[in-house]
A and B are shown apart, each in its own frame.
Chain A
Amino acid sequence: MELFARAALHLTLLLVFAPLLSGVIARTKALFAGRTGAPLLQPYFDLARLLRKESVFSRTTTWVFLAGPVAGVAVPVLAALLMPFGALPAPFAFTGDLLLFVYLFGVARFFTVAAALDTGSSFEGMGGAREVTFACLAEPTVLFCLIVLARIADSLSLSALLGPHLAAAWRTPAGLSLGLVVVCLLVVLLVENSRIPFDDPNTHLELTMVHEVMVLDHSGPPFALVLYGAALKLMVLGAPIVRLLLPVATGHWAGDALLFLAGMLLLAVLIGIVESVIARLRLVRIPQVLIGTTLLSGFALVLVLR
């Protein structure tokens, strides 16, 4: 019963509040641009609008085309069950769940890329190639970061990795490694969620897109799933960063949930600021940055292995 309640709380937080983060990012960017911006709840209105729309399917597409958006929503939901949200422990935890967490997103990526290739469009093929290239380069960073956390926590489960010991760990020499891990995970968060400086979620220029170009052919409810899946992914991947930076517990589940949400909103504001003050990188520079973060995370590992 307790497991059921924990899972329900976890999923409620995720499913209800995820689109709000996109609204906060958009509002932050609007303020930097000197505009009022769309309402904070605009992402919800957008989803409602898309759900009422009709879908258009190209004659060249098959069921694979729909598998992309479905996997895009299903995977973050499953992954969320392994990820602690702030001080709220994950509903499921077992040794080695961190690998399942990482490769669940690999499955989502496979289906998104397969759906893009299913359209037969040269743009979407290009986007798929870029997405997979960047994901390959981001993967070592993620794994190094998780190994660092595993070494500090002496465990191989996400709930233990991001457990209450982190508050004390920051004050030990391992704190330096934790700092590097936060930086690396923040870069991975921006890459994985196709944010500036790695990708521009708002661009209309199909030749420069990475993620957006893969979903150009989706419309109506499947496109709503794509947007919703992207919002969920942002929240699930942002959760470890929030936990690392706010390793405190209030002692009550409601307080923990509020603290976690506050942390997520601050992270959204931070993303909005990053997107406002720097320009996009040239596409050829992105692999260089990702190799740089791999080295950084490797260095973090060296520090905790001393």
Chain B
Amino acid sequence: MSPLHAAIPVANGGALPLADLPLLGRGHFTGALLAEVAEGARVAALFATPGGRDLELYAVLARDGRGDLAVLRTEIAEGFPALAARCPELQLFEREIAEQYGCTPGGHPWFKPVRFHRSWRTGRDAWGRGAARPRPAVQEFYRVTGDEVHEVAVGPVHAGVIEPGHFRFQCHGEQVMHLEIALGYQHRDVERLLLGGPHPATPHQVETVAGDTSVGHASAWAHLCEALGGAEVPPRGAVLRLAALELERLANHVGDIGALANDVGFLPVAAFCGRLRGDYLNATAVLCGNRFGRGLIRPGGVSADLADEQAAALRERLAPVARDTRGALELFFDTPSVLARLEGTGHVAAADAAAVGLVGVAGRACGLKRDARAHYPLGAYRAAGVEPAVKWGGDVYARAAVRREEVAVSLALVDQALAGLPPGPVRTASGALRPHALAVALVEGWRGEIVHVALTDAAGRFARYKIVDPSFRNWTGLALALRGEQISDFPLCNKSFNLSYCGFDL
């Protein structure tokens, strides 16, 4: 069997009996994974779960060109040879596995804890840390030494009301030579909370993996349940899901443009966008009673129907909001002093972005054509025909411009959805989950690609639940964007990525 045929294909939002997934030898697995990556595949998720002789290792590959996913499985013992040096996008995944199961990826070039939590297997810590809960950011930071080099530490407590994270800059004057980011302050152990589920609390836990992406994460989870439970979402439910996901994108993209305007001290757009973000959140509240879309997405469809008159009223209400949004964006992108501030700031090279596997807005701003809505459409997106909004600059301007383009697309999608709600029910019963199966779902949240993978046990319960938030990959991109940049531009770069701390910390 050639390495390229070792991976078992699976559709996005599809399931696969575990029995169909061969347990490859370690060498075979490595060869197949590297061959797929060389052919243009990306690693959407890499995770371990107890099984086999010690641990089983699963890799989910995303083949954007072919529009399908593929899964590889092998087993690992105490330690395993790291692939991070040959395939840098794996580096965080391998560190994550090491931290969770206390096994050491041999030859890992940057072997540090990810979230600073205790090993899931008592007494087997990869760094030999004691039994007490490790404290975040207590680690050896990369240091530059020299007479004029100074170190700036920011966080976890910041001057604004934002999530906690620790940033360590190595600076020469105003110039940043290296930025290291230490997170983990908000680790809640979500993946293990979901084990043995679905529990009654599961939907709420999934919706708060990253609070600003409630609809995105809930959608990915619902797709998994539907894949494993054999349910087909009715058309009306699927269209309402699309509307909710796009409203979430609108609220956040518009809010981000406003935040960028605020950071460069351009007040009118900052003020307009702050108000407009509220309008989009309120529109989401019309769908389900919650401004962040909590409680809307449920396996089998959506929890609440939107009557045709309500849809028409909402559409009417959104028309002036859309007009104001276009006006605010035009003002922002037509002001020379704003453009001077954005262009060329926080540049990430396309090759680096591809190597570390950036996704979503940050990836598309570097010319990476990656959009799960286009490559792996689910539900109503199959008919929507979304084109990825790709820019080439890789700087703050490109990230803002991607958002601008996506705002226009989302406005059109929401309008179409509300204008053409198909008749019929919004939800169907989603049955018991299939036992001994693997299901995977990729959903393009507003920040980027959200990956959920579930393995079920003999009773059809979650034996392993893997969540990859786009922030997990993109924080590395922020660190790269700061190389050689002015330290005073960090807040602007940070805002242009606007990553989730809790989505990373899980």
Contact = CB atoms under 8 A, between A and B. Distances in A.
Contacts of B486: 282-284
A34 interface: yes
A122 B152 contact: yes
A279 B265 contact: yes
A122 B159 contact: no
B270 to A, nearest CB: 7
A305 interface: no
A197 B173 CA distance: 22
A250 interface: no
Contacts of B268: 32-34, 276-277
A203 interface: yes
A282 B491 contact: no
A280 B267 contact: no
Interface stretch (B26-34, B83-91, B336-344): B336-344
Interface in A189-211: 196-197, 200, 203-208
A207 B266 contact: no
B488 interface: yes
A32 B275 CA distance: 14
Interface in B116-152: 150-152
Given A33-B268, A197-B337, A278-B337, A122 B150 contact: yes
Residue with the greatest number of chain A CB neighbours at <10 A, chosen from B152, B265, B341, B492: B265
Contacts of A279: 261, 264-266, 335, 337-338, 340-341
Given A278-B337, A283-B486, A196 B159 contact: no
Contacts of B154: 206-207
A33 B160 contact: no
A207 B264 contact: no
Interface in B454-506: 486-492
Nearest to A196: B265
B151 A207 contact: no
Given A32-B268, A278-B337, A205 B160 contact: yes
A245 interface: no
B266 A278 contact: yes
Contacts of A32: 267-268
A27 interface: no
Contacts of B190: none
Nearest to B332: A279
A126 B486 CA distance: 12
Contacts of B338: 279
A276 B272 CA distance: 13
Interface string A145-183: 000000000000000000000000000000000000000
B152 A280 contact: no
Interface in B151-192: 151-154, 158-160, 173-174
B151 A122 contact: yes
B430 interface: no
Nearest to B266: A279
B494 to A, nearest CB: 9
B384 interface: no
Nearest to A212: B159
A34 B272 contact: yes
A197 B341 CA distance: 11
A125 B153 CA distance: 13
B64 interface: no
Interface string B255-268: 00000010111111
Interface string B313-344: 00000000000000000000001011011000
Interface string A96-134: 000000000000000000000000001101100110000
Nearest to B492: A208
B362 to A, nearest CB: 20
Interface of A is mostly: loop
Contact of A35 (B151, B265, B271): B271
Given A123-B152, A204-B160, A282-B341, A197 B265 contact: yes
Contact of B487 (A126, A203, A275, A285): A126
Interface residues of A, number: 32
Contacts of B151: 122
A286 to B, nearest CB: 10
B345 interface: yes
A280 B339 CA distance: 11
Contacts of B335: 278-279
Contacts of B150: 122, 125
Contacts of B488: 207-208, 282-283
A281 interface: yes
B89 to A, nearest CB: 29
A168 to B, nearest CB: 37
Interface string B235-274: 0000000000000000000000000010111111011100
Nearest to B272: A34
A29 interface: yes
Contact of A208 (B152, B153, B337, B491): B491
Contacts of A38: none
A176 to B, nearest CB: 27
A216 interface: yes
B265 A126 contact: no
Contact of B491 (A196, A207, A278): A207
Contact of A282 (B158, B159, B267, B489): B489
Nearest to B263: A205
Contacts of B158: 206
Nearest to B335: A279
A32 B267 CA distance: 8
B17 to A, nearest CB: 52
B341 A281 contact: yes
A205 B271 contact: no
A289 to B, nearest CB: 12
Contacts of A280: 264-266, 341
B267 A29 contact: yes
B177 to A, nearest CB: 15
A142 to B, nearest CB: 24
Contacts of B173: 129
Nearest to A201: B265
Interface string A1-38: 00000000000000000000000000001001111000
Contacts of B263: 203, 205, 208
A204 B159 contact: yes
B251 to A, nearest CB: 19
Nearest to A206: B159
B176 to A, nearest CB: 10
Which 10 pairs from chain A and chain B are nearest by CB? Answer: A33-B271, A280-B265, A205-B491, A279-B264, A279-B266, A283-B488, A204-B160, A278-B337, A279-B337, A200-B265
Interface of B: 150-154, 158-160, 173-174, 261, 263-268, 270-272, 275, 335, 337-338, 340-341, 345, 486-492
19 contacts: A29-B267, A33-B268, A34-B268, A34-B272, A122-B152, A197-B337, A204-B159, A205-B491, A207-B488, A207-B491, A275-B265, A276-B267, A278-B266, A278-B337, A279-B340, A280-B341, A282-B340, A283-B488, A283-B489
Given A34-B271, A205-B491, 16 more contacts: A32-B267, A33-B270, A122-B153, A125-B150, A204-B159, A207-B154, A207-B487, A275-B265, A276-B267, A278-B335, A279-B266, A279-B335, A279-B337, A279-B340, A280-B265, A281-B341
Interface of A: 29, 32-35, 122-123, 125-126, 129-130, 196-197, 200, 203-208, 216, 275-285
